[in-house]
Structure 1
Amino acid sequence: MVDLSQYLPILMFLGVALVLSSAFVFLPMIVARLTGAHNPTPEKLAEYECGFPAFEDSRAQFDVRFYLVAILFIIFDLEAAFLYPWAVSVFTLGWTAWISMMIFIGELALGLVYAWKKGALDWE
């Protein structure tokens, strides 16, 4: 027979988490309605973008080059995230760490050259 009492602390934790998360979501809305802070006007309900009204549909499609540049940014940002811990510990890790990082940087450089040749970095 399985003893389900072992799961009681987990269920209590989930119950407390559910109650607290619901309180953080719904209590501010209830307090705003009771205190009079909830006063929607057309100006408050209007969409805005960077401080001025939107000038086109929010569901407009983006050019695929935008996504390519974003992906390239993430790749080179991750490179920097890997490069810093490596630079801190390269002298204690030895030649193996240095050679493996040079291979990693070489692969990223080849990827950058490929993206550059394909025109992923050209913006019109």
Structure 2
Amino acid sequence: MFYLMFISSLTLIISSIVMILASLLSKKTIMDREKNSPYECGFDPKGSARLPFSLRFFLIAVIFLIFDVEITLLLPIASIMTLSALTSWLFTSLTFLLILLLGLYYEWYQGALQWSD
């Protein structure tokens, strides 16, 4: 147990040190107008490079990714059925499916799945 805690804390410390060093060393101090422009060829752009992005599209994409990962977690349940007791397998899979359905109904209730208003 002590060995596991030691390795976990050592990993946390090393990763924190690496992240801090990377953030300190990656700071760029030279701010050039040409380098900050969207085109580096020397021509002035005709329009803005920052086009408006639909927040609704982003929200639906994030919800899709979340449910896609959860479906990926559901796939091994079928192969585990033969290796575990039927009651524990049934309880675990039904609990996971219930959590998925509750999340879906909550998103539906909040109106996040409607594309147009």
For normalisation by structure 1, the TM-score amounts to 0.49
Q: Deviations over 1:63-101 (max 9, x none)?
A: 222122112111221122111111111132122122112
Larger Rg computed on CA atoms: 1
Distance in 1, matches of 2:88 and 2:48, equals 53
Query: 2:110 corresponds to which residue?
Result: 118
Distance in 1, matches of 2:115 and 2:49, equals 22
Task: Give aligned pairs, total.
Answer: 70
Distance in 2, matches of 1:71 and 1:111, equals 13
Distance in 1, matches of 2:65 and 2:101, equals 14
Query: 1:98 corresponds to which residue?
Result: 90
Structure 1 residue 65 corresponds to structure 2 residue 56: yes
With over 3 angstroms needed to count, the CA separation of the structure-2 counterparts of 1:70 and 1:98, relative to structure 1, is same
Give the unaligned 5+ runs of structure 2: 1-40, 42-46
Cα shift at 1:57: 4.8
Structure 1 residue 75 corresponds to structure 2 residue 75: no
For normalisation by structure 2, the TM-score amounts to 0.52
Query: 1:109 corresponds to which residue?
Result: 101
Distance in 1, matches of 2:78 and 2:50, equals 44
Distance in 2, matches of 1:57 and 1:113, equals 39
Percent of residue pairs identical = 36
Distance in 2, matches of 1:103 and 1:63, equals 34
The secondary structure found in structure 2 opposite 1:65 is helix
